[in-house]
Chains A and B, each alone.
Chain A
Amino acid sequence: MQILQQLINGLSLGSIYALLALGYTMVYGIIKLINFAHGDVYMLGAFWGYYMINTFHVGFWTALILSMIFCAIIGVIVEFLAYRPLRDSPRIVVLITAIGVSFLLENGMSYLFSSSPRDFPQAMVMHRYHLGSLSISNVQVLILVTSIVLMILLQLIIKRTRMGKAMRAVSVDPEAAQLIGINVDHTISFTFALGSALAGAAGVMIGLYYNSIDPLMGMTPGIKAFVAAVLGGIGLIPGAALGGFVIGLVETAVQAMGFSAFRDAAVYGILIVILIIRPAGILGKTTREKV
């Protein structure tokens, strides 16, 4: 029973990491950038949801959708202003810029809205259901189900739609894509929009779950989601989802075993181990060119 309980806790936390990891991995896939500002987009999503609910009294689902739209726009703007001008620069330059954007968003939000945590409005009353010793909250179920639905939608967009296919084409070969007329800039914007929308959804859901948001809330989950993306195989969409769930489960397991203090250390330990034994990630493989 205890194991089942931890499994449920781990999966709901993991689904948040998975949503975030998808953004990392899609952006990496298309422009080979670890977008360190991604966790902060998630934070902005949580804040936007907070204001929508508190100021405009929208319901939870409306707030979720509005945050997704808001974050999609933020993601597109960040790419346009910060990363696009550096398209032909060395990767390290863009990486450092991403860290700069992250600091800007964190400190800018702290300055504007103070750095102290605030209570996320309970747009949905939390219920706990007890089945024997098992305790599940409706919010946990909501997070898990919503995340899975969003991942399925993402998969449909990527597999079926014209822009989704263009994303995959640009990811594997941007030059060839240009030679047959795919607009690489639009495709990159689209990728940022998708990834950031998922981060926005994650931000609002975590606000509801932990009932607290602050301008630095994106730092740790951001790094953990990055680890999840690397664990699954950076650039691989199913890998990011898998990695997210694994990280969530590991973290919960470490905590359940009474090593709460080592929760984060365990996640970073995984990063080190995976980089040593399987740098391409769980689902990653090396490809060879055909002649």
Chain B
Amino acid sequence: MLLQVEDLFVNYGVIQAVKGVSFNVNEGEIVSLIGANGAGKSTILHTISGIMRPKSGRILYNGKEIQKEKSQKIVSGGISQVPEGRHIFAGLSVLENLQMGAFLRKDKSQLKKDYDNVFERFPVLQERKNQDAATLSGGEQQMLAMGRALMAAPKLLLLDEPSMGLAPIFINEIFDIIESIKKQGTTVLLIEQNAAKALSIADRGYVLSVGKIVLSGTGQELLNNAEVKKAYLGG
């Protein structure tokens, strides 16, 4: 197992955001974590990335506990994140944003290939590479945020609502890209409110509701589940 989350509790002050969540991600999978707004999805990702500390519980990556590690240690270990709302670095060019993704990279020889790879996957980033990242459209910014996280050469990519606020044409493209990222060997933990899309590309999925996992199964099982249909797929 690449990632194991065990009985995770995370608070904001007195507010319990995550209440005993356990799940796992195997190498090579796309695992989707779906749930309504405020269910605790982003909190879980922030805790995995080491920018929030759990109240209790463990996070194991390749069998080693990482819940107390610093964020840069976690990234250099192979987990990078595309945050909710993209959070590209405004004022830095597209290329500089990608360079920041590669901040910890030491393997300079592989680096060039990875830039080529990102530019091939997102040709628009190559076209705009010297432009201020803030001038990109929402969909392009999402691609940049993904390219930036890929430049860290992750084994596990965490994606927090990549389709949020995007035009339908971009949404399809983003999900295609996520599948192709998996095909190239990167494991993906995908968080979405767009449950239909997220489950359709997922190997497995979990449903999170007010800080707890209430359902799990393969992507297909969850898509066909009556409760999931009712609560997340609009009937």
Chain A residues at the B interface, C-beta cutoff of 8 Å: 162, 165-166, 168-169, 172-173, 175-183, 287, 289-291
Q: A172-B89, A291-B165 known; A180 and B80 CB under 8 Å?
A: yes
- Among B92, B138, B141, contact of A168 (Cβ-Cβ < 8 Å): B92
Which of A173, A179, A291 sits near B80, CB closer than 8 Å?
A179
Bound form: Cα–Cα A175–B50 in Å: 11
| Assembly CA distance A180 to B96 (angstroms) | 13
A179 and B51 within 8 A (CB): yes
Which 6 A-B pairs rank lowest in CB-CB distance, beginning with the nearest? A181-B75, A176-B87, A178-B71, A181-B104, A179-B81, A169-B89
Q: How far is the CB of A23 from chain B (nearest CB, A)?
A: 20
- What are 5 pairs between A and B in contact, CB < 8 Å? A172-B89, A181-B104, A182-B72, A182-B100, A290-B141
List A contacts of B83 (CB < 8 A).
175-176, 179
A-B contact count (CB 8 A): 81
- A165 with B80: CB separation less than 8 A: no
CB of B111, distance to nearest CB on chain A (Å): 12
Nearest neighbor of B87 in chain A, beta-carbon distance: A176
Q: Verify A165–B72 contact, CB threshold 8 A.
A: no
B215 contacts chain A at the CB level, 8 A cutoff: no
Cα separation A287 to B132 with both chains bound (whole Å): 13
| Interface membership of B149, Cβ < 8 A | yes
B134 at the A interface (CB under 8 A): yes
In the complex, whether B123 has a CB less than 8 A from a CB of chain A is: no
Interface presence of B10 (CB below 8 A): no
Q: How big is the B interface, by class?
A: 35 or more
Task: Check B99 against A165 for contact (C-beta < 8 Å).
Answer: yes
A28, chain B: closest CB distance, angstroms: 15
Asked if A181 meets B134 with Cβ closer than 8 Å, knowing A165-B96, A173-B87, the reply is no
The interface residues of chain A lying within 8 Å CB-to-CB of B96 are 165, 168-169
Cβ-neighbour of A169 out of B85, B100, B137, B141 (below 8 A)? B100
B residues lining the A interface (CB < 8 Å) = 49-51, 70-72, 74-76, 80-81, 83, 85, 87-92, 96-97, 99-101, 103-104, 134, 136-138, 141, 148-149, 151-152, 165
CA distance A217 to B69 in the complex (A): 44
A178 B134 Cβ-Cβ under 8 A: no
Give every chain B residue within 8 A of A162 (Cβ-Cβ).
Answer: 99, 103
Which residues of chain A come closer than 8 Å to B89, judged between CB atoms?
168-169, 172-173, 176-177
Interface contact A287-B100, CB-CB below 8 Å: no
Give bound CA distance, A132 to B208, whole Å: 81
Which residue in chain B gives the minimum CB-CB distance to A236?
A: B91
Q: A176-B88, A178-B72, A290-B138 are in contact. List 7 more A-B contacts (CB 8 A).
A: A172-B90, A179-B71, A180-B81, A180-B101, A180-B103, A181-B76, A181-B104
- List of B residues within 8 angstroms of A180 by Cβ: 75, 80-81, 100-101, 103, 148-149, 151-152
How far in angstroms is the closest Cβ of chain A from B164?
9
Given A168-B92, A172-B92, residue A181 in contact with residue B141 (CB < 8 A) = no
> Do A175 and B152 touch across chains, with their CB atoms under 8 A apart?
no
The interface residues of chain B lying within 8 Å CB-to-CB of A168 are: 89, 91-92, 96
Whether the pair A166, B90 counts as a contact (CB closer than 8 A) is: no
Among A179, A182, A290, point to the contact of B134 (Cβ < 8 A). Answer: A290
Q: What are the residues of chain A within 8 A of B92 when measuring CB–CB?
A: 165, 168-169, 172
Alpha-carbon distance A178/B49, docked complex (angstroms): 8
CB-CB nearest in chain A for B104: A181
> Contact at B90–A181, with CB atoms within 8 Å?
no
Measured between alpha carbons, how far is A211 from B148 in the docked complex, in Å? 52
Known: A290-B134, A290-B138. A175 touches B99 (CB 8 A): no
Q: Residue A175 contacts which of B51, B103, B134 (CB distance < 8 angstroms)?
A: B51
A166 contact set on B, CB distance < 8 A: 100, 103
- Chain A nearest CB from B53 CB (Å) reads 12
Chain B residues closer than 8 Å to A175, beta-carbon distance? 51, 83, 87
- A200, B80: Cα distance in complex, Å: 39
**Chain A: minimal CB distance from B162 (Å):** 14
User: Which of A168, A172, A175, A176 has most B Cβ within 10 Å?
Assistant: A176
- Which residue of A has the minimal Cβ distance to B101? A180
Identify the interface centre among A181, A287, A290: most chain B CB within 10 Å of its CB. A181
- Give bound CA distance, A177 to B87, whole Å: 9
